[in-house]
């Protein structure tokens, strides 16, 4: 969430920057600033009214002590009117704060200066590519056919038990899934991230804190009886562990990782591009999250990108990195890099990670601050990335490592799997 003070100071620059998102902020900004002026004027009047009421109360006490009851009773009438006025002002203030907050929730983050303008994913900018695309034998299969052939993932059984988008992993498929999770976590802890085991449901405050609410409310599974939400990513519980915290400079950097199942209601269209593991309602993911001082956050983002590159290099999967354009940038993000793995059998790129810097956007919602060297309170920068989301990584491994005699296991995963091939 943007800070009102920053909107006031940078109004024209922010309006221009948000045009990269195809978002017209001019009218909203005017409403925000008008509401904030109302809020501040009302707060000042309320403070003055309460101060007058308190002063009169002291005078009334003294008058009663000196026996001047008539004067005291006259002043009591004035305090009664002041109390009624302060009540009305309190209600007006609460309404202004509520309306201001609701408006601020509708405004996306300011894109970083390096974000290209654009309307959709087609306008994203490729910034890096690595790895050779393997040449598969004639008749190579997509992963959903391989899963059926080797009986390692059962999509129909998942549909029977729950519904579409909830696959059942079996035998070596389940072992490979578990191997990937363990390896991703080990690589993260080797890189200095502290591992957490996290709740899979969060409260409404947590959803608002990281920006899933109200923007993505329709995409989250809502447990209505308890007003809890199934997490769409481990970013939500990890980042919210620090909600309302006041940190010190000695606390940085904060580096966290966690494995969780993730749940997303997002409706999928039909066709090969969403078949099999390409789009699921439940999937596994290892997340990395960082809290940084503002001046260090973009170096931290580069470090997170390098970490994810290392994972894909060791898996020997061909991949590319895209800098998302304004039109494809997430609501809360200032800058996002997407990683995509090439699926040779499907002849297409599959997104397998997003790594983002939210700058102060989440921290302002979270009331997450730190004291600098001058003892001044400043907002923290928050970052997160998938390292990695499993379904499409698994799809890429199955398709790119397939041979006429079975599916080879990447060398780094063999000690975790306990087998060298799926056949």
- Judged against a pLDDT cut of 70, whether residue 267 lies above it is answered with no
Closest CA to 149 of 157, 138, 141, 158: 141
Q: Does 352 count as an annotated binding residue?
A: yes
Among 212-226, 230-244, 401-415, which stretch is predicted with the lowest mean pLDDT?
A: 212-226
Q: Does 84 count as an annotated binding residue?
A: no
The whole-number pLDDT of residue 60 equals 81
- Whether the bond into 109 is cis, omega within 30 of 0: no
- Judged against a pLDDT cut of 60, whether residue 269 lies above it is answered with no
The whole-number pLDDT of residue 337 equals 98
* Distance in angstroms (rounded) separating the CA atoms of residues 419 and 172: 9
Q: Does 233 count as an annotated binding residue?
A: yes
From the options 3.40.50.1580, 3.30.930.10, 3.30.70.20, 3.40.50.970, give the CATH code of 121-422. Answer: 3.30.930.10
Could you tell me the pLDDT band of residue 273, with boundaries at 50, 70 and 90?
A: low
Q: What percent of the chain has pLDDT over 90?
A: 85
- Judged against a pLDDT cut of 60, whether residue 12 lies above it is answered with yes
Q: Does 354 count as an annotated binding residue?
A: yes
Domains of the chain by residue range: 4-104, 121-422
* Distance in angstroms (rounded) separating the CA atoms of residues 69 and 119: 74
DSSP 245-265: -EEEGGGPPEEEEEEEEEE--
Question: Which tens digits make up the pLDDT trace of 91-120?
Answer: 999 999 999 999 999 999 999 999 999 999
Q: Does 53 count as an annotated binding residue?
A: no
From the options 1.20.1440, 1.10.15, 2.60.40, 1.10.287, give the CATH code of 4-104. Answer: 1.10.287
Among 55-59, 330-334, 386-390, which stretch is predicted with the lowest mean pLDDT?
A: 55-59
Tokens at residue 272, please? 């090969």
Q: Does 351 count as an annotated binding residue?
A: yes
The whole-number pLDDT of residue 271 equals 53
Q: Does 266 count as an annotated binding residue?
A: yes
- Judged against a pLDDT cut of 70, whether residue 268 lies above it is answered with no
Question: Which tens digits make up the pLDDT trace of 377-389?
Answer: 999 999 999 999 9
* Distance in angstroms (rounded) separating the CA atoms of residues 215 and 374: 36
Q: Give the distance, in angstroms, between the CA of residue 322 and the centroid of all CA atoms in the same chain.
A: 18
Q: Does 21 count as an annotated binding residue?
A: no
* Distance in angstroms (rounded) separating the CA atoms of residues 45 and 57: 18
DSSP 160-175: HHT-TT--EE-HHHHH
Q: Does 109 count as an annotated binding residue?
A: no
């Amino acid at each position: 969430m943007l800070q009102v003070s920053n909107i006031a100071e940078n109004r024209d620059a922010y309006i221009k920057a948000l045009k990269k998102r195809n978002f017209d902020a001019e009218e909203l900004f005017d409403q925000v600033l008008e509401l904030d002026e109302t809020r501040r004027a009302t707060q000042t009047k309320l403070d003055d009214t309460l101060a007058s009421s308190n002063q009169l109360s002291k005078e009334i006490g003294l008058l009663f002590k000196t026996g001047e009851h008539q004067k005291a009773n006259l002043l009591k009438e004035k305090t009664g009117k002041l109390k009624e006025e302060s009540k009305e002002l309190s209600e007006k203030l609460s309404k202004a704060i509520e309306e201001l907050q609701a408006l601020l929730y509708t405004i996306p983050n300011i894109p970083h200066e390096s974000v290209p303008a654009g309307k959709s994913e087609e306008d994203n900018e490729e910034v890096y590519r690595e790895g050779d695309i393997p040449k598969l034998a004639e008749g190579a299969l997509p992963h959903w056919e391989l899963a059926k052939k080797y009986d390692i993932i059962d999509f129909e059984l998942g549909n029977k038990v729950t519904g579409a988008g909830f696959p059942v992993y079996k035998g070596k498929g389940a072992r490979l899934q578990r191997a990937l999770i363990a390896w991703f976590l080990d690589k993260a802890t080797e890189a200095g991230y502290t591992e957490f085991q996290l709740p899979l449901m969060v409260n409404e405050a947590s959803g608002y804190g990281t920006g899933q609410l109200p923007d993505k409310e329709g995409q989250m599974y809502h447990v209505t009886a308890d007003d809890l939400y199934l997490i769409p990513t481990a970013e939500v519980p990890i980042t919210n562990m620090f909600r309302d915290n006041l940190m010190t400079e000695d606390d940085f950097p904060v580096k966290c990782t966690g494995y969780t199942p993730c749940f997303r209601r997002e409706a999928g269209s039909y066709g090969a591009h969403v078949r099999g593991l390409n789009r699921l309602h439940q999937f596994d993911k290892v997340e990395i999250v960082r809290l940084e001082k503002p001046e260090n956050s973009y170096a931290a983002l580069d470090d997170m990108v390098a970490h994810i590159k290392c994972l894909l290099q060791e898996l020997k999967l061909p991949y590319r990195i895209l800098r998302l354009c304004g039109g494809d940038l997430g609501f809360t993000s200032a800058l996002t890099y997407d990683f995509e793995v090439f699926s040779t059998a499907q002849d297409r790129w599959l997104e397998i990670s997003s790594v983002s810097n939210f700058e102060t956007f989440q921290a302002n919602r979270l009331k997450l601050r730190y004291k600098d060297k001058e003892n001044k309170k400043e907002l923290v920068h928050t970052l997160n990335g998938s390292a990695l989301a499993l379904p499409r990584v698994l799809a890429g491994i199955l398709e790119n490592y397939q041979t006429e005699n079975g599916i080879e296991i990447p060398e780094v995963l063999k000690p975790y799997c306990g087998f060298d091939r799926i056949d």
